[in-house]
Chain A
């Protein structure tokens, strides 16, 4: 079966989620990768190691306009006869994949967390509290792959790069400005997240959260009240109405664990909870719990991890 995987490379590199989508596609069938913009061939060739045999690139399309990307993908589907179209279910994928689905009248699996089993694909529903098994009624299907839901393995494969041309129409959306957030590690891409809540008592105490995050190579996050009162920026808010994260390790200090917060973190592989209140609901969702004061525990944990890193 022929598979087309669209990856976003507009910043000149391939994100971890992009390799995940390519690897996912290669487990379904003969995979062609489609992208656009001015990424270098040497960077693009890396997808070969994740199972793609060919890369199509439209170099002169340098914007992420959903309508144009939808036209690009539909043209590539026609030229490769792809039966399955895979995109990462990230900001670009959520904007583009539904358009591709409606344009091709191909059923869309939004937020797949596993490879297809028989004729269904598993997704998260009810904000992570249950799974749905989606059946696609059409021969062509579009799959939006949830970020960090599988671990790609590298192989020896290589991919040939070909220029691709398609009429993608013109953009009626004009980009006026871009506002970048601070911080080096993107919350939604981070493998480790250190998060804190009102238990930290004030924004001046976040140094110990940042120190631990730095030692671990983690992103920092916070609970909703902390973002709402302005202790931390809104783009750190994790929960139902903020970001949903799925890191390998989520460390929460001074967060009680309201159901809305849990909805944003329950896809994490391992959860560590630090709280003075032994009755905090977060302990029910935790793998490891420490009943104690974050002001004492966070610096001790930081020292223990530094010691571990020095010896390993």
Chain B
């Protein structure tokens, strides 16, 4: 079984969010990048578990510049067999999906896994776009993935519950909480990651469909108004008259 896992970088959750160049660029000053948690904890770890059960190979792919190599080595340390980096800055979901689809078409994978979203752009765009470009079935926001030969049994979230579905490979799937548990790389994994293949390929021509014209920060939240624990009538009055939410 050949599995492709799409890996993206994301700023550490505690990073200070600020912008530079007239609010057109994310300020990376002092920002520590991590593997996007949905890609790492759920997509990559589940891919590794499936490989351990069924044999096969887990490849990761990242669209990014050389500075992304450190997070790719982390994915290799956790257990991926090899990695590919498409050498371009990823600023648009479609052009990123196009690069991944182009590589995947030439290398026939059984499963293409992504996290359900990145924690910086929260778009949930990539997996759906890859599936459309490759004309493959897409299972979005899945919390369970079991393989039996070429048939997958998947739990995907629907309004008010879960749908349990079956689909045959190849398919594209985006992973959410529940699919696997986080794995901490051990020293052996970290040592091995240094010599595992990380292939850098050049991008194919593709236009960006969107761009971020600028960013802005929310208004500073006004001071919290404290209410005495014995005076809930006052809170109710404020919620009704001031906040107008009840």
List residues of A whose CB falls within 8 A of some B CB. Answer: 11, 15, 64-67, 70, 89-91, 94-103, 105-111, 119-120, 124-127, 129-138, 172-181, 186, 192, 216, 234, 237, 240-242, 248-249, 259-260, 263, 266, 269-270, 272-273, 283-293, 296-297, 300-301, 303-305, 307-308, 312
**Is A98 a contact partner of B213 (Cβ separation < 8 A)?**
no
Q: Which 7 A-B pairs have the closest CB atoms?
A: A98-B128, A292-B229, A95-B140, A110-B123, A107-B209, A304-B232, A102-B132
**Is A108 a contact partner of B209 (Cβ separation < 8 A)?**
yes
**Closest Cβ of chain B: how far from A235's Cβ, in Å?**
8
Complexed CA–CA distance, A210 and B212 (Å): 42
| Contact status of A70 and B132, CB under 8 A, knowing A134-B213, A249-B243, A249-B245 | yes
Does B49 touch A at the CB level, under 8 Å? no
In the complex, chain B residues 161-218 whose Cβ is within 8 Å of any chain A Cβ: 161-168, 177-178, 207-218
**Is B243 a contact partner of A269 (Cβ separation < 8 A)?**
yes
**Is A108 a contact partner of B93 (Cβ separation < 8 A)?**
yes
Known: A176-B164, A178-B158, A269-B243. 18 other contacts (CB 8 A): A91-B140, A98-B125, A102-B132, A107-B94, A108-B125, A125-B215, A132-B215, A133-B213, A172-B167, A173-B166, A178-B164, A241-B38, A259-B13, A272-B235, A286-B224, A288-B235, A290-B227, A304-B235
B interface majority secondary structure:
mixed
**Closest Cβ of chain B: how far from A193's Cβ, in Å?**
11
**Is A186 a contact partner of B236 (Cβ separation < 8 A)?**
no
Complexed CA–CA distance, A69 and B209 (Å): 22
Complexed CA–CA distance, A124 and B127 (Å): 20
Q: Which residues of A contact B157 (CB under 8 A)?
A: 91
The one of A91, A124, A303 in contact with B159, judged by C-beta atoms closer than 8 angstroms, is A91
Does B63 touch A at the CB level, under 8 Å? no
Complexed CA–CA distance, A72 and B55 (Å): 38
Q: Which residues of B contact A289 (CB under 8 A)?
A: 224-227
Does B233 touch A at the CB level, under 8 Å? yes
Interface size of B in residues (CB-CB distance below 8 Å): 78
**Is A136 a contact partner of B131 (Cβ separation < 8 A)?**
no
Complexed CA–CA distance, A70 and B217 (Å): 34
Complexed CA–CA distance, A120 and B221 (Å): 25
**Is B236 a contact partner of A308 (Cβ separation < 8 A)?**
yes
Among B80-88, B104-112, B114-122, the one that faces the other chain is B114-122
List residues of B whose CB falls within 8 A of some A CB. Answer: 11, 13-14, 17, 19, 37-38, 93-94, 97, 116, 119-129, 131-133, 135, 137-141, 153, 155, 157-168, 177-178, 207-218, 221-222, 224-230, 232-233, 235-236, 238-240, 243, 245-246
Q: Which residues of B contact A126 (CB under 8 A)?
A: 11, 17, 119-120, 122
Residue of A nearest to B162 (CB): A179
Complexed CA–CA distance, A11 and B160 (Å): 11
Q: Which residues of A contact B229 (CB under 8 A)?
A: 290-293, 296-297, 300
Complexed CA–CA distance, A4 and B226 (Å): 46
